[in-house]
Amino acid sequence: MVRLMKTGLIYCPKREGFKSPEKRWKKIAKCLEEHGIEYDLIQSENAQSVERLVSMLIHNGYDDIIICGGDAALCDAVNCLMREEKDVRERVVLSVIPNGLMNDFAAFWGLTENDIKLAVESIATRRIKKIDAGCLIYTDKEGNKQNRYFLNCINIGLVAGIQRLRTETRKIFWSRKVSYVISLVLLLFQRMFWKMEYTINYETEQHRVMTMCIGSALGFGQTPNAVPYNGMIDITVMRNSAFTQIFSAIALFLRGKILNHKMILPYRCHDITIKVPKSTPVSIDGHSFSNIDTSTDPMKIIVEQEAINFIIEK
Q: Which domain holds residue 81?
A: 7-126
Is residue 241 assigned to a domain?
Answer: yes
Taking the C-alpha atoms of residue 34 and residue 188, their distance in angstroms, rounded to an integer, is 49
pLDDT higher than 80, residue 180: no
Q: Give 263-278 pLDDT, tens digit per residue.
A: 789 999 999 999 998 8
Is residue 313 assigned to a domain?
Answer: no
Of 74, 92, 126, the one marking the end of a domain is 126
| 179 shares a domain with 58 | no
| 285 shares a domain with 160 | yes
Q: How many domains does the chain have?
A: 2
- Give pLDDT, residue 155: 94
- Give pLDDT, residue 175: 54
pLDDT higher than 50, residue 1: no
- Lowest mean per-residue pLDDT among 9-18, 133-142, 168-177, 303-312: 168-177
Q: Give 278-301 pLDDT, tens digit per residue.
A: 889 999 998 888 888 888 899 999
| 215 shares a domain with 95 | no
Is residue 15 assigned to a domain?
Answer: yes
CB atoms within 10 A of CB 92: 20
**Section 128-152 average pLDDT:** 95
pLDDT-derived band at 167 (thresholds 50, 70, 90) equals low
